[in-house]
A and B are shown apart, each in its own frame.
Chain A
Amino acid sequence: MAAAHPGATRALKPARGERNLGRLAWPVGYVVVILFLFVLYQYLLPSLVKPVSAPVLAWLPVATINECLMWAIMALGLNVVVGYAGLLDLGYVAFWALGGYTAGWLMAFPFNWTFNFHLFSPVRANAPGTHINFWLVCIVAGVLCSILGLIIGAPTLRLRGDYLALVTLGFGEVITQFFRNSGDIAGYNIAGGDPGISSIDPIGTGPLGALGVAPKLLTNSAAGNIWKILVLGLLVGICIFISLRIREGRLGRAWLALREDELAASMMGVPLVRVKLLAYAVGAFFGGIGGVANASGITTAVSPSGFDFGKSVLVLLMVVLGGMGNVWGVTIGAFLLSWLNSNGLKQIGVQFDAIAGTNLEASLPRYNYVILGLLLVLMMLFRREGLIPESRTKALMSMPSRTEAESLGAESVEAEAETDAYEHADPDGDAKIAAAAMAGSGASTTHGSPGARREEES
């Protein structure tokens, strides 16, 4: 997909061929990667000598891999909303929070009034509280978040661009504040308030645990973390699979059309309301699963302070940095950023300390958002399309479209449409317009051609 093709704008056909090949190859490749990680940490590293295994464990501890996988679920979800449908969502953390709290409600003993209920849960049968199987909770949280997505989506349907982003930003804050104050709502404790809900059940391994192959509960122990690679890897794989499949179908095409030109899409029979709401719902579904994965697999607790605006931005950064609309780019972006955020910066600090004798190990991670922000600025300056761009976006960045160039030339005299014909006959003129479009598209949106405006947005 990322193969450098000389005629970038004409490259879609070969790229498609590669994608067809990739369609068969990616599940195999993905499974191999996840299994390799598992085998590496489970069997290879312990048997290797320390000088070899220690750096690997220091740079990429198992816990970090799990975090990366969890964030990949989130990024893939936001990619549906932002990358596919082009609806900027700054409140995506809301779904992460609701997913986490769903896990809190269904996989813990949060409040005294909770009745005891067990459903395929790995915890001992006499434990108080509600204990439902991780996979079932994933589905429940996904559905709940989809509904929340519809609720959030509905009022934003008439909004575009900046206004849409502001409303979603508001919703993200609303949800967080709701949970922050949920300790006492009309006398009822709904979600534990500021401290949140803790000791959420870890992921169970079911038959594998019963057979003694895997630990029964995947706690944050060394063995549990290694097995979590498989569980979270499976979830990410499912999300990638769904993303790719939906993208190819009727709905995916409608999303792309919506991203490009809402009005034209509606004039071509695409029901905007339905299609937009579906984008929110599918994105939120992923977000809910990510929330459960985080609450049950990583933190084992949820509290409002974890669901701040920064997290929404972080996920958005993953999508933008990786390459909006490209599933693989987004996954890579999620891995890279969550690695930097959780362990990478610290390790870089440690290495730097060893050489220069400074004390960056503690301070560098505190500057994580500064560094991520710088990274974003650099990306926007030098590689706006992301690490692994969608082939379409790449075409957009590399050259102005023909109509765009022509409209810049003919815009002021659009009434005299024949101007177009004259300009066509004059190759030098065409080149000049193209050059002007290049300069213009980067610098300003005031040219008013819809194409140029879209370019700025994406």
Chain B
Amino acid sequence: MSESTRGVRESLADVTQLGGTPNSPGDPAGAAGYGRPDSAESGVDGPTSRVVPNEGVDPVESNVLFADRITIRFGGLTAVDNVSFSIPPRSVVSLIGPNGAGKTTFFNVLTGLYEATEGSVYLDGKDITAVKPHKRAAMGLARTFQNIRLFGLMTAEENVMVAMHSHLKAGVLSTIIKTPGQRREEREAHETARELLDYVGIGKTAGELARNLSYGDQRRLEIARAMALRPKVLLLDEPTAGMNPQESANFNDFVYRVRDEKGISVLLIEHDMSVIMKISERITVLDRGAMIAQGTPDDIRNNQQVIEAYLGKTGTREGKRLPKPGSDQGGQPVTTAGASTNGEQA
């Protein structure tokens, strides 16, 4: 809010952090401004339409991950409304939106934590709508968490090895007897874990308890752990939260390395626009559960609806809000954040 009152309207790329949605849900003027696009297939308008996956190609087959018209309702509340979303192979795409836009909810549908009320999810051409989260993970859908969720009392190496569970074969008996096969498998798992830790740049910490790593290293470890699943898609939930600009820049390079060297598609969820604008090949913008835009960073930067979603409309609505500047605004971002956090942990 305060940003918009100060009239920050130059470029969204400069706005790194924004509070909650600028308008309260009951605001009729605001609601009028966020009409959901009618076309469920593309959900885009104007300049963004040219990056829609090639017409005529089956989106299920051509994308490594494809979410088809997802709707999620919690009771009477529609958290995500008819959003289609695709991740092409070897791409870096992102999902953005103000707090409470439904990003994390949508994300949780992709990973299987929530069941979509309507719609289906396809991974590598296979319908995984009914597949359990751990199976999705084993199939190649790896994620990190908004609030880091490592196994704190396990070493960095063990953390990575936990994620290899689905790729290892040893059963209870062969573990007890330590069959040659089990020994070899364990040795290889150790090596792979070390390689992954080196890959994300924290090879030295292999023997440290995860809880003792620094914040940045923990973020890296989460990514190494996710990569141990040998994913096809890596879903990163606010990966640069708490990083300084230098770390963010390094992170961009890292994401490209993951895409190019490992051939993994990356989906980022962020509300830090500066990161997203630099890194993404395609951006999808959610606001209050609906997709309001999709396109290249340039498209998004100039998209009027997106600017409004982030900064609020000038004119009538702004005028309405001005009378009480900052009186109860302080609490609003916190509550929105709390809601999204709860949703993630549920």
Contacts and interface: CB of A to CB of B under 8 A. Distances in A.
Interface string A262-303: 011111111110000010001000000000000000000000
Given A266-B133, A268-B165, A424-B215, A261 B151 contact: yes
Given A16-B207, A396-B153, A451-B211, 7 more contacts: A249-B182, A260-B154, A396-B211, A401-B152, A402-B213, A414-B337, A450-B345
Nearest to A407: B147
A428 interface: no
20 contacts: A253-B161, A260-B152, A260-B154, A263-B345, A264-B145, A265-B151, A265-B162, A266-B137, A268-B165, A269-B135, A269-B137, A270-B166, A271-B134, A395-B153, A413-B333, A413-B334, A414-B147, A414-B338, A415-B20, A416-B17
A417 B238 contact: yes
Contacts of A250: 164-165, 168, 170, 175, 186
A450 B149 contact: yes
B244 interface: yes
A257 interface: yes
B152 A415 contact: no
Given A250-B168, A260-B151, A266-B133, A421 B242 contact: yes
A420 B111 CA distance: 27
Contacts of A407: 147
Contact of B19 (A242, A393, A415): A415
B211 A420 contact: no
A67 interface: no
Question: Would you call the interface of chain A mostly helix, strand, loop, or mixed?
Answer: helix
A392 interface: yes
B215 A278 contact: no
Given A268-B163, A270-B162, A278 B153 contact: no
Interface string B142-183: 110101111111110010011111101010100110100010
A254 B170 contact: no
Interface string A246-258: 1011111110110
Interface residues of B, number: 65
A270 B134 contact: yes
A9 B213 CA distance: 11
Interface in A170-203: none
A19 interface: no
Contacts of A266: 132-134, 137
B138 A269 contact: yes
B209 A245 contact: no
Contacts of A89: none
A253 B170 CA distance: 12
A403 interface: yes
B128 to A, nearest CB: 14
B153 A256 contact: yes
Contacts of B147: 407, 414
A158 interface: no
Interface in B228-276: 228-229, 238, 241-244
B282 interface: no
A183 to B, nearest CB: 37
A418 B147 CA distance: 13
A412 interface: yes
B218 interface: yes
Interface in B177-222: 178, 182, 186, 207-209, 211-215, 218
B152 A12 contact: no
Contacts of A248: 175, 186
